[in-house]
Amino acid sequence: MKKLSLLISIIVLIIISYFTFSNLEIKSENRNRIKGIDISNQYKGNLKWSELKEFGDFVILRAVRAIDTCKTKCIEKFASIPDKKFNKNWKSLKNNKIIRGAYHFFAPNVSAKTQFDIFKRTVKLEKGDLPPILDVENRKCDMNEVFKWLELAKTHFKVKPILYSEYFFYKLFLKNKNNSFPIWLYINENFFMEPSFKNPNCVLWQYKQDKLINDFQEKVDFNVFLGKNEDFKNLLIK
């Protein structure tokens, strides 16, 4: 009986280890990677883009956020709302010649079409921008609607959108449905592992969240592009 229990424990450990570490590799110390930040447009003043320096090869802005509009306690009714600061910061990035990207935070219980209509009215992508990005973090979201949004974005912008999520959330709720879209994953650098560039097709790694850079005035998340410079150029809208 003890041997059987030990065998079962070993098997369980192997399964957990495989789930945890598959699609990951040892964190690279390569200093020459393309680096970028993402922000939520919370700061009310003018952001000092010059303060980004070594972290500012690209900047990704939240374009559409999800809010709970229901005032009744314990009842949720979500809506997708364009970010008030998005247009100002979007234009400022272009004026400062910084590669830019825009993401949509996916809301539960709102159809993919309704949400995408808001995104396409809010975001006008141009040559040299990153593809549209969908941020999915809430397990209450209908994952079928998530992929409808991605297909709508692919058709409208004529480029494959990027799917963002936390690493374990992605593996639990999204990986089995995703056969084609590139991904952007968050896993804290203190884990000493990073997503693999090719398995799955992970192009961006968010490795640190809610940090301040010099006098930039707003907390940011840190990211790196996992491929080579040529891969990054190929990712941008032509």
Kindly indicate the confidence band of residue 3, based on its pLDDT and cuts at 50, 70 and 90: low
Determine the average pLDDT of the residues in 148-166: 98
Tokens representing residue 169 in the block: 């959330």
pTM: 0.89
Residue percentage of the chain with pLDDT more than 90: 69
Q: Which residue has the higher pLDDT, 55 or 131?
A: 131
Confidence of residue 92 (pLDDT cuts 50, 70, 90): very high
Please tell me the predicted confidence (pLDDT) of residue 15: 41
Mean of pLDDT values over 124-136: 98
Higher pLDDT, 107 or 200: 107
Does the domain at 2-235 match CATH 3.40.30.10? Answer given as no
Q: What are 204-232's pLDDT values in tens digits? A: 999 999 999 988 989 999 999 999 999 99
Is the distance from CB of 76 to CB of 213 less than 8 angstroms? no
pLDDT of residue 12: 39
Mean model confidence pLDDT for the chain: 88
Q: Tokens 């994953």 label which residue?
A: 185
